[in-house]
Amino acid sequence: MDFSFTPQEEAFRQELRSWLEANLPEGWLDGTFAINKETKEYELFLRDWQRKLYEGGWAAIAWPEKYGGRNATLMEEIVYHQEMVRVDAPPLVNYVGIHMVGPTLMHIGTEEQRERYMKKMLTGEEVWCQGYSEPNAGSDVAAIQTTAVKEGDKWIINGQKVWTSFGHMADQCFLVARTNKFDKKHKGITCFLLDMHQPGVETVPIIQMDGQHDFNEVYLNNAVATDAQIIGEVDEGWRVIIALLMHERTGIGSQVFTVEKQYNELVEVAKSLREDGEFVIEQPLVQKNLVDLYMKTKGSLLNYYRNLTKSLKTGQPGAEGSMDKLQVSELTKELLAQAVSLQGHPGVLWKEDAVAGNSYWQDNYLYSFGQTIGGGTSEIQKNTIAERILGLPKDMGR
């Protein structure tokens, strides 16, 4: 297997590097830029960054040019992710819209829907969230209880969603609701493009154990949608859900580059910390753990490349995205736990009490538990891998 990039791909890399150097916020590259992530200012900062990406042609490089993209190849997407990770670029506030809803609209939506929604996804004018999980229907999306009932020319939606990423910032929601009851629970589901700025929608923050606010509960009390806001066919939303999830898990898999970067940073931590007068990296157990993590990190990267090769041949993401998602989320948690452990007793300190007031590893470790849930739990990914890749029989308990 040839891991080298072509001259054209390297030219693409240099173009992106030059743009990032010229457009990243002042102080970003030297680490002096600071902003409180729990403020409205941070949301506006992310929206401004999204617009800047759009204006530079970097908001959704894989999208067709007619929709505001660059028709980038899969390999150019790899270069893009590598470079964004290299500079630890600001997060994409419209990740759900660009990586999930937009591609789904391209394949299943109407031309009117593409015209109405897609440009505003790119510019950051409209941020999207995803209304899947419910209190009694987490990983089992088909068990949803939120209902949509047709009244005249409108659909009246009632129910509750939970763990809604970006819900507190969102203008639109890709929402699934039950529109009919059939013997098979995967039928009778419809997907709506729901306006979040209406009286029947209430968003309540969920404060995580790391003190951050990334997830939300969303209460729907006679919220309204129209036929024009349905994507796909009424009662046939399951195939739309599957299409969107394929794009979601493929995007999550690209986080393998973040894991690779964090591993290299972890090695530097081991080289800098001392215990009983010696650097901890000299300890045999630490060396063994680092070697184990190195093998897992490289294995995840190579597996990601293998799955990418299949996507290059088929032109569509497949169930292999579940392999990437499972590996990345579980390995991230393991790697960050090792980073905290290496610090010894100071590893339990947090925020301003942490060494030099820097709780980077602690913050990310606490957040990593959510990564094994978001985008489908690790247990669900294992079922998908077993059934759709290995061809094993379905779990009879489900």
Place of tokens 């995205």: 321
Inter-CA distances, 229 with 16, 224, 320, Å: 36, 10, 31
User: What φ, ψ does residue 184 adopt, rounded to 5°?
Assistant: -90, 120
CATH of the domain at 334: 1.20.140.10
Cβ atoms within 10 Å of 2's Cβ, excluding its own: 5
The answer for 57, left when phi > 0, alpha when psi is -120 to 50, beta otherwise, is: left
CA atoms lying within 13 Å on the CB side of residue 353: 7
Residues 308 and 375 in one domain: yes
The yes-or-no answer on residue 76 being catalytic is: no
Same domain as 378, residue 281: yes
pLDDT of residue 247: 61
Catalytic-role residue among 248, 265, 278, 387: 248
> What is the model's pLDDT at position 308?
79
SS3 268: helix
pLDDT of residue 396: 63
CA distance readout (Å), 131 to 93, 98, 218, 346: 16, 16, 8, 39
Question: Is there a domain that residue 207 lies in?
Answer: yes
Torsion angle in degrees (nearest 10) through CA of 374, 378, 381, 383? -140
Taking the model in full, what pTM does it have?
Answer: 0.87
pLDDT value for 36: 85
374 and 278 fall within a common domain? yes
In a domain, residue 242? The reply is: no
Which amino acid type is present at position 354?
A
Contact 286, 280 (CB under 8 A): yes
CATH number at residue 24: 1.10.540.10
Instruction: Determine, yes or no, domain membership for 248.
Output: no
Radius of gyration for the alpha carbons in the chain, expressed in angstroms and rounded: 22
User: Same domain, yes or no, for 289 and 219?
Assistant: no
Return the amino acid letter for 248. E
- Decide if 157 is inside a domain: yes
Which residues have C-beta within 8 Å of that of residue 115, sequence separation ≥ 6? none
Decide if 2 is inside a domain.
no
Please check whether residue 78 lies inside any domain of the structure: yes
Q: What is the pLDDT of residue 2?
A: 65
Please tell me the total count of domains within the chain.
3
For residues 271 and 363, state if they share a domain: yes
Q: Is 232 left (phi over 0), alpha (psi -120 to 50) or beta?
A: left
The domain of 49 spans 7-93
Same domain flag for 325 and 273 = yes
Q: Would you say residue 106 lies in a domain?
A: no
Q: Is residue 110 part of a domain?
A: no
Distance in angstroms (rounded) separating the CA atoms of residues 310 and 302: 13
Print pLDDT tens along the chain (398 aa): 666 889 999 999 999 999 999 999 999 999 899 898 888 899 999 999 999 999 999 999 999 999 999 999 888 988 999 999 999 999 999 999 999 999 999 989 999 999 999 999 999 999 999 999 999 877 678 889 999 999 998 999 999 999 898 999 999 999 999 999 876 778 899 999 999 999 999 999 998 888 888 889 999 999 999 999 999 999 999 888 887 776 654 555 578 999 999 999 999 999 999 998 899 999 999 999 999 999 999 999 998 888 877 877 776 667 788 888 899 999 999 999 999 999 999 999 988 888 877 899 999 999 999 888 877 788 888 988 898 888 898 766 55
